[in-house]
Amino acid sequence: MNNSNIKNIIICGNGLAGVITTAALAKALPKETKLTLIDTLCTHEKDIFYGNVTSTSTYAFLLSLGITEIELLTQSNTSFSLGTHYLDWGEEKNSWYQCHHQPLPLIQGVMFHHYLNRITAKFPEQSAIGPYIMSVCAANKGVFAHPSKDPKSPLKNIEYGYHFHPAELRKIIGRKLDNWDINIEKGSIKSIEKSNGEIKSLTLSNGANISGDFFIDCTQGDLGIYDKRINFGHNRTLKAVENISPHNEIIGSCRKVHGNIEKWKSQTFLQDKLQILNISEISNKKDNDTESRTHHSTGVTITTGFSENPWINNCLRLGHSAAVLSPLTPAPIMLLQNDVKRMLELIPISHDMKIEAKEYNRRFTEDYIHASTFESAFQPAQTIIKKESYENKIEELIYDKLKNKIMQFKSRGIVLQYDLEPFNNEDWIQIHLGMKRIPKRYDALADRLDETQLIETLKNIKKNNFIISEKIPPLNKYITGLIKYLRKQNDKVQSK
């Protein structure tokens, strides 16, 4: 980047996507690169669609921005998360834990769930997958501990993300911006000067004229500095209604979600608050207008979908200006992180950005197709298999992939994975079994293991998980004690 001709980068919008992007650029680029963050004077209410639960990758991502877990826990109300507990989901009223976890053990080279399928008829009490997943055992009891470094401990398999609120995360990252030499301009975008399709400068409501080499649009989709996003994938209008109430105790290490893919409610315990988020799909414009008039002060609406080409010429759309996903899964915040990491990897070094833009757009599209495929898996299998009409070519591709996944799993227990999917085998196994997609057959190689030995192995895994889950503390006690200890240690450092 030292020999780069890109010396002036403009980030538009200081919502969650904007501050994350600015922090990432400031941390990664040399001081010679001028960064300007434009506060477009908008509210950040649509940030709620980034959700309230992260994936396991967030720890490392925040660390790359210079935010440690100590800072995250002591300077915001963020809490630990083992995943999501879906309760009475859909018409079939399915309930299951969708937890973060290391890969389940391979036994003689055969994936673990095949052995459970093998014993289902004869030993049904041993065939549920939850008791074999340490994270699920801990979530079921509302307890938590960091992963163990002891290779013999079941806690080595536990993984975690965070329960968070987008506004709190935005604040803690925003405070980091004070550590870097970043020019901040306040004003809405009034006009855009372009030449040969490239943006040359922006004129703001405060009269400032901001010129740059590379523009990153992190607005919330309604004040984009480029053409309006053309949505691909699932085009749905979603309404979010949030209620936050004080709560002095964290109850449970998983968020709870009830409902169906069209209308659901989540309950998420932060350190000092309970967040209840209601998401509902608005089926048509009339409903949308009615909802907007009736609930304008309490609800936020947004249209899901993603851009086919978020990077055009010298402008990259990032965040909600490029894509919106339902916060049913951790995908919105997970893919925002992926987009920022991809941007850093492909940051242009000359005004000819065609190669970088092409590669960014390719990987962006793959990410959002895979995430949309996972979200669509929360529908009944028959609804998915019978679907024949699609809004666009991308939605058809999403359902083709999902149909293949479901048919392969239901037929032979095969966990079909495409390249670079953001959700792993364990995620797919949990949702398939949670939605009661039971394979008709299992891998014949699973029969090589003696039945008595298999049952003994399974009982030992369950027993060890149970013993550990009985010993570790409730999340509320764990995080309270941890924060107290961290603050005490910090006071010692400050006093020296």
Identify residue 64 by its one-letter amino acid code: S
pLDDT at position 225: 63
Two tokens at 474?
A: 């409730």
Q: Taking residues 204-229, report their average pLDDT.
A: 82
Two tokens at 437?
A: 């997609």
Q: Taking residues 198-227, report their average pLDDT.
A: 86
pLDDT at position 289: 52
pTM reported for the whole predicted model? 0.93
Q: How far apart are CA 300 and CA 119, in angstroms?
A: 48
pLDDT bucket at 296, cuts 50 / 70 / 90:
very low
Return the residue matching tokens 């995250």.
Answer: 72
Check if the beta carbon of residue 440 is closer than 8 Å to that of residue 411.
Answer: yes
pLDDT bucket at 232, cuts 50 / 70 / 90:
confident
Average pLDDT score, the chain: 92
Lowest mean pLDDT among 1-10, 296-305, 410-419: 1-10
pLDDT at position 356: 97
Identify residue 28 by its one-letter amino acid code: A
Two tokens at 104?
A: 């389940």
pLDDT at position 294: 46
pLDDT at position 229: 57
Report the sign of the C-alpha dihedral through residues 307, 15, 250, 260, in that order: negative
DSSP string, 244-262: EEE-SS---SSEEEEEETT
- In this prediction, what percent of the chain has a pLDDT beyond 70? 93
Nearest by Cα to 481 from 178, 271, 220, 323: 271
Q: Taking residues 240-259, report their average pLDDT.
A: 94
Indicate whether 433 pLDDT > 80. Answer: yes
Instruction: Encode pLDDT of 150-195 as tens digits.
Output: 999 999 999 999 999 999 999 999 999 998 999 999 999 999 999 9
Nearest by Cα to 211 from 7, 5, 4, 3: 7
CB neighbour burial string for 291-301, b if at least 16 within 10 angstroms, e if fewer: beeeeeeebbb
Q: Taking residues 453-469, report their average pLDDT.
A: 96
Instruction: Encode pLDDT of 251-263 as tens digits.
Output: 889 999 999 999 9
Return the residue matching tokens 């965040």.
Answer: 319
Indicate whether 336 pLDDT > 90. Answer: yes
Check if the beta carbon of residue 255 is closer than 8 Å to that of residue 267.
Answer: yes
Instruction: Encode pLDDT of 104-128 as tens digits.
Output: 999 999 999 999 999 999 999 999 9
pLDDT at position 438: 95
Total residues found in the chain within this entry: 496
Check if the beta carbon of residue 281 is closer than 8 Å to that of residue 263.
Answer: yes
Check if the beta carbon of residue 98 is closer than 8 Å to that of residue 431.
Answer: yes
Q: How far apart are CA 371 and CA 385, in angstroms?
A: 18
User: What does each C-alpha distance from 197 to 63, 217, 307, 352, 455 come to in angstroms?
Assistant: 37, 15, 18, 13, 66
Return the residue matching tokens 């995080």.
Answer: 479
**Within 13 Å and on the Cβ side, how many CA atoms surround 317?**
26
Instruction: Indicate the burial class of 253 (C-beta count within 10 angstroms; 0-12, 13-18, 19 or more).
Output: buried
Indicate whether 297 pLDDT > 70. Answer: no
Instruction: Encode pLDDT of 31-46 as tens digits.
Output: 999 999 999 988 899 9
pLDDT at position 398: 95
DSSP string, 403-452: HHHHHHHHHH------TT-SS-HHHHHHHHHHTT---S---GGGGGS-HH
Using DSSP's 3-state secondary structure scheme, residue 95 falls into: strand
Return the residue matching tokens 């950005």.
Answer: 353
Indicate whether 325 pLDDT > 80. Answer: yes
Q: Taking residues 416-441, report their average pLDDT.
A: 95
Q: How far apart are CA 449 and CA 106, in angstroms?
A: 12
Q: How far apart are CA 368 and CA 231, in angstroms?
A: 12
Instruction: Encode pLDDT of 343-390 as tens digits.
Output: 999 999 899 999 999 999 999 999 999 999 999 999 999 999 999 999
Treating both helix axes as pointing N-terminal to C-terminal, what angle do 16-28 and 166-176 enclose, rounded to 10 degrees? 30
pLDDT at position 5: 82
Indicate whether 238 pLDDT > 50. Answer: yes
Which residues are registered as beta bridge partners of 110? 107
Indicate whether 489 pLDDT > 80. Answer: no
Identify residue 464 by its one-letter amino acid code: N
